[in-house]
C-alpha cells in the first residue's frame, strides 16, 4: 500500500512540475495540501533548452560588473537556495540591507522581493544585475558581454531566435528558477494518510501552528504564505528602519510591512526574517512568542503567545517536517569567452 501511494504521489509531483497552472485559479493555490502545478506565463513557456540556458546564466559571475557575483552567490543550492548570511554581499564587498531569502518555490509567489517591487519572476531575475550593491552591472553591458561569447550567442538564437537581449535574459533565468521547487515533505505524507510520517511533536506543533501560535492566518496554503504583507516589528527599533512595502506604495500604512515568505524547507534556509536577525527556527519562535517589536503599524495578530518550552520545541518540529526534496544541482559548464571578453568585464 505504501509503495503504491508513494508511486502515485511521485507521479503527481512530476506532472505538477510540467503542467501550466492558470494564474487565475487562486482557489487552487490557496487550498491545503501539496504544491499545485508551477504557474507558467503564456509568453514564457518552459523548454529544456531555455531552462539549460537559464541555469548557465544563474551561475555565471560574468553577469556582474567585476565578474565575481552570480545569482547563485546569494541563492546557493547547498544552502537551501538562499544566503547563510544575514544580508546580501555584492560586488566590492558591499553589504545589502535585507536577507536574500530563498529561490525555492519563488515561482508560486505572485510578486517578488520582500517589498513586492517586482511583479513577475522575469522582472525579479534581472533586478540584481543593475542593483549597484549586488551585481552592479547594466543590462546593456551584460548583453554586450553575452553576445561576445559564441556559445551564449548561439544558445540565445536557438531558444529565442535572436541574439542575447534583456528580455531573453530575464525569461531564461526565470524559466530555470521555475524548476527550483520543493518536493513532498513529511507533512504532505502525513496529510495523505501516512500517520508515521510526522513525529508526535511535529503533529502537536501543527496543531499549535493552526491554533495558539497564530501562524496559519499568514502562513496559509500549500506554499505556507498568504502572499500578503505584514508588519511583525522586525527591525523597527532601529534608528533608520527599513520602510518595506511603503517604499513601493508610498502609503504610510505600509510602513514596516514585508511579504510573507513561504515556509517549505525553511529549516534549510537560516537566518530568518528580512533582517536576517534570527539565527535559528527556535529564535524565530521566541521572537513571535514575545509578540515582535512594538511600533505604530504592528500587525494586530502580533501578540505575546505565552508558549511553554515544549510548545516552542513542537513548533520547530513541525517547521522541520515541512522539509521536502529540492534540486541540488552541480553548477553547469559555462560557454567560454571569446578573445574580446578575456581579462575584463567592460
The reply to whether 206 and 315 lie within a common domain is yes
Place of cell 506604495: 249
The reply to whether 150 and 194 lie within a common domain is no
Check pLDDT > 50 for residue 17.
Answer: no
- Report the CATH number that the domain containing residue 284 is assigned in CATH: 1.10.760.10
Q: What is the pLDDT of residues 259-311, one digit of tens each?
A: 999 999 999 999 999 999 999 999 999 999 999 999 999 999 999 999 999 99
Give the mean model confidence (pLDDT) for residues 321-342. Answer: 83
Number of domains present in the structure of the chain: 2
The reply to whether 147 and 222 lie within a common domain is no
The reply to whether 199 and 285 lie within a common domain is yes
What is the pLDDT at residue 184?
A: 93
Give the mean model confidence (pLDDT) for residues 169-196. Answer: 96
Q: Are the CB atoms for 108 and 223 separated by under 8 Å? A: yes
Round to whole Å and give the CA distance between 147 and 166. 12
> Does 114 map to a domain?
yes
DSSP, collapsed to helix, strand or coil, labels residue 164 as: coil
Round to whole Å and give the CA distance between 324 and 183. 5
DSSP string, 26-40: HHHHHSSSS--PPB-
Which one, of 135, 2, 153, 138, lies nearest residue 60 by Cα?
135
**Choice among 122, 134, 246, 311 that is catalytic:** 134
* 134 is an active site residue: yes
| Residue 222 vs residues 34, 140, 254: alpha-carbon distances, Å | 6, 39, 26
The reply to whether 226 and 172 lie within a common domain is no
Check pLDDT > 80 for residue 121.
Answer: yes
Predicted TM-score (pTM) of this structure: 0.87
Grid cell, residue 289, equals: 512568542
**Average pLDDT, whole number, for the chain?**
89
Which one, of 233, 189, 187, 229, lies nearest residue 209 by Cα?
187
What is the pLDDT at residue 255?
A: 98
Check pLDDT > 80 for residue 29.
Answer: no
What is the pLDDT at residue 329?
A: 86
> Does 138 map to a domain?
yes
The reply to whether 53 and 171 lie within a common domain is yes
Alpha helices in 127-245 (DSSP H): 139-147, 150-160, 166-177, 186-191, 200-209
pLDDT band at 34 (very low <50, low <70, confident <90, very high): confident
Give the mean model confidence (pLDDT) for residues 161-169. Answer: 98
> Does 17 map to a domain?
no
Range of the domain at 264: 186-320
Round to whole Å and give the CA distance between 305 and 128. 38
The reply to whether 173 and 203 lie within a common domain is no
The reply to whether 206 and 267 lie within a common domain is yes
Amino acid at each position: 500500500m505504501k509503495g503504491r501511494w508513494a508511486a502515485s504521489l511521485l507521479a503527481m509531483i512530476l506532472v505538477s512540475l510540467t503542467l501550466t497552472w492558470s494564474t487565475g485559479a487562486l482557489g487552487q493555490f490557496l487550498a491545503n495540501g501539496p504544491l499545485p502545478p508551477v504557474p507558467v506565463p503564456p509568453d514564457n513557456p518552459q523548454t529544456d533548452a531555455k531552462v539549460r540556458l537559464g541555469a548557465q546564466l544563474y551561475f555565471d559571475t560574468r553577469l556582474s560588473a567585476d565578474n565575481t557575483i552570480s545569482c547563485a552567490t546569494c541563492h546557493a543550492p547547498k544552502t537551501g537556495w538562499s544566503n547563510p548570511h544575514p544580508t546580501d554581499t555584492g560586488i566590492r564587498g558591499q553589504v545589502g540591507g535585507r536577507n536574500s531569502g530563498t529561490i525555492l518555490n519563488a515561482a508560486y509567489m505572485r510578486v517578488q522581493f520582500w517589498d513586492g517591487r517586482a511583479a513577475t519572476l522575469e522582472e525579479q531575475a534581472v533586478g540584481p544585475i543593475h542593483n549597484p550593491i549586488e551585481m552592479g552591472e547594466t543590462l546593456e553591458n551584460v548583453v554586450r558581454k553575452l553576445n561576445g561569447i559564441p556559445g551564449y550567442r548561439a544558445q540565445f538564437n536557438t531558444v529565442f531566435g535572436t541574439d542575447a537581449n534583456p528580455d531573453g535574459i530575464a525569461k531564461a533565468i526565470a524559466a530555470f528558477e521555475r524548476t527550483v521547487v520543493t518536493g513532498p515533505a513529511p507533512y504532505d505524507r502525513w496529510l495523505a494518510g501516512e500517520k508515521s510520517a510526522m513525529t508526535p511533536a511535529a503533529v502537536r506543533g501543527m496543531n499549535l501552528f493552526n491554533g495558539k501560535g497564530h501562524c496559519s492566518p499568514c502562513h496559509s496554503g500549500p506554499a505556507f504564505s498568504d502572499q500578503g504583507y505584514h508588519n511583525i516589528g522586525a527591525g523597527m527599533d532601529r534608528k533608520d528602519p527599513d520602510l518595506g512595502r511603503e517604499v513601493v506604495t508610498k502609503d504610510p500604512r505600509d510602513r514596516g510591512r514585508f511579504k510573507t515568505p513561504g515556509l517549505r524547507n525553511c529549516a534549510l534556509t537560516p537566518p530568518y526574517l528580512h533582517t536576517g536577525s534570527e539565527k535559528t527556527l527556535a529564535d524565530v519562535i521566541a521572537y513571535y512568542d514575545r509578540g515582535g517589536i512594538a511600533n505604530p503599524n504592528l500587525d494586530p495578530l502580533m501578540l505575546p503567545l505565552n508558549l511553554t518550552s515544549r510548545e516552542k520545541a513542537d513548533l520547530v518540529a513541525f517547521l522541520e517536517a515541512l522539509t521536502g526534496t529540492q534540486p541540488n544541482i552541480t553548477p553547469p559548464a559555462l560557454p567560454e569567452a571569446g578573445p574580446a571578453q578575456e581579462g575584463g568585464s567592460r
